[in-house]
Structure 1
Amino acid sequence: MLKKLLQGAGAALVLSLAALAQPAGAQSPFDPVVRVNESVITRFEVEQRMQFLTVLRQSGLTRDGVIDALIDERLELAEAARLDVTLSEDQLQQAMEEFASRANLSADEFVAAIAQQGVDPETFRDFVRAGTAWRDVVRSRYASQARVSDEEIDRAIALGTGQGSVQVQLAEIVLPLLPETAGLVREQADAIQQMKGFDEFSRAARDLSASPSGDSGGALGWMPLSNLPEQIAPLMLSMAPGDVTPPLPLPNVDAIALFQLRGLRDSRPGVMQNVTLDYMLLRTPQGAAPAEMARLEPLVSTCDSIYSHVSDPGGTRIEHVTGPRAETAAGVRGVIDRLDPLEMAVLPGNSAVVMLCARTPIAGADLSRDDLQRRLFSRKLEDLANGYLAELRANAFIERL
């Protein structure tokens, strides 16, 4: 990795020579901070990636989050190499041009722009290389499984937007994912995913599930579709009762979950129409959102008036968001769907308040069958990829130094 970085640019060489001149005990930018199987992630890479994402104005940026992303990329690139998925220099250049075009720049112009912000060209190349190689791996492995049938599209159209009217009945099986049992868990997950009968799934939940719901056969009961986690809800639109989702990684725990659809009901027929949501998002300390909403409700009469009653010198607490409802995170969308304009609510987790400013139908923006096909295919592929990556993580040697 040191050789690779030294070849990237003269700036890296200057940094490395300066590191050699440091007194004993001083930290070098090329000290490893994480070992991932046979490779390492250096302090230089972490700092460079943080600076790169800062230039891209990525929200919620943390050092731990950057390290986690770099760990994932090491695993993704190693898997690509194992499967002989490689990028030619022309393919990499094309991917860089495509990325830079989002800012209306050529790749060379983009590299020059980020260099002015202290980002090494090799940081950009590594970022694009990892993402492109992983997409190729996922598509080659799962494209056939993620195909969307006409029946699935018809079902999605029939279900409409799910604004409070669509409910699902689910059962779950949660499997701990540890390095020493990863192979067995993968076999169990593959077998569970093939199950169609409710009784068979319930027996497996009682025998295998680490969730408290296992005692009741994994049953979760009826719930609004909009209340489901963002990675799960779209899957329900392309499933029939009895179908089981791919294994999905659970946040903050070493486990995967599989969900069986047992029922789906919708009291309102309609079509999947895009609606523009205009809302304010106010972040608060953990648990403080209810009190903050109670304070603001008698004071705030318009969305813009929030700025007069909330101190936000760093511009990090208040966010004014406008965008299609279909692209809004499921947790936020589920709360906003219950609001009238200028009403407030607390988001799950009690760390943010949302205020709906307006909800506007997009004229002529009913989703076409092609749009639905692409969205459903992309979501299926993403969920399969997340499960794949969780398995790679479980099987990997990862040591934070």
Structure 2
Amino acid sequence: MTVTRVSRLAPLGRSILALTIAALGAGAVAQDAGEPAPRGTISIPENVTIFGKNDPNNRRATAIVNGDIITGTEVDERVALVVAANQGKIQPEEMERLRLQILRNLIDETLQIQEAKAQELEVKNAEVDQSFARLSQQNFPQNPKAMEGYLKRIGSSVDSLKRQIRGELAWNMLLRRNVHPFVNVSEEEVKEAMERLKAAKGTEEYHIGEIFLAATPETQAPVYENAKKIVEQIKQGASFSAMARTYSEASTKSVGGDLGWIRLAQLPTELAGAAQGLQPGQLVGPVQIPGGFSILVLIDKRAVLTADPRDAMLSLKQISIDFPAGTSEADATKRAADFATAIKGAKGCGNVGEVAKTIGAQVVENDQVKARDLPGPLQESLLKLSLGETTPPFGSIQEGVRMLMLCGRDDPQVDSGPKFEDMMSQMEDDRVNKRAQAYMRDLRRDAVIEYN
């Protein structure tokens, strides 16, 4: 891949499902970043003959990493976290592939914990407990103890999540000692980056997620079939970010495949063409590119350094009516039309409450609604309204009919771009990430691993 990817270190404190999958990819980074190690030439004949066959019944569910055992139970508990994050929408035929990926990720996590111990960097139990308690409080604010019940209910455990937290803390400690002090970004580099950003003002930027699967000419066919299965799972409701953290071979797997905001010119030609016509939320792929296949999702798009109307803060009044049980479609359509006529006749937000009373409608007010948080069709409709105007009626016979009246709008300020300090921090993060990838690659290369 020729795309510049920025993978931030994952902070503790996100939602439980986000965190539980994030650690699956925390150490599994791409092999092509950072300073390249000296390499010899690997010679592979064109006509390959395999001597012997792998036993399909030998699942190798456990491993011994430099003497430390990864048990089948640990693999099962991590699988349970991923399945829960995908709301159970993982096909039976995908489970073995998922187990193998999780085992690889657990091996990386074990190497990180071992390296911290070897360098006498201690992750104290109290730190792990505090992080776990913070997650519990965030996800179950009324009853933090409910976290333990939740983990047990889905087939995981407190120990599994705490080990995951320990791995993240150990890795961050190693990077703070061995990587961060040696990363420098000059003021000139930051200024050049900011000038390039200003020069691009008004051009479109795309917020894209990617799952990248590496392939050689010999492995193209099976990798393509694998990519198609991943696409189908996402279309059936599986989380794109969860699938990226589990299967992607790009460095962005640790952040759910998130490439951040980029211009299409930064993508390989094949991906730029595929992404050109996408609307937010749409998926495309697998797309063949040099080195493998990519699956893309368009998260959002915007104009560089230009105010986005969708960031406007709206003050709305929602007026709604319900239909009695047994209402026919014809009666509902007529009543919805009468309802719309009456509300439009209110002539503004000041009088809508009185009008609503006369027709038995309910009014709810909210003056802190961001336009982009609303469904697409409502966004488009509301942003075209003047004060006191309403959207067309929407709803169903079962849920009733609603209209939204615009009572106020605070438009966003023009984005002046990131501050100098923020840009420098972003560039430093990028370089730290590349060094971290090389560090992890070295740990894998020197590891002694036995499979059971």
TM-score computed with the length of structure 2 as normaliser: 0.44
Greater relative contact order, per chain length (Cα 8 Å cut-off, separation 6+): 2
Larger C-alpha radius of gyration, 1 or 2? Answer: 2
TM-score computed with the length of structure 1 as normaliser: 0.49
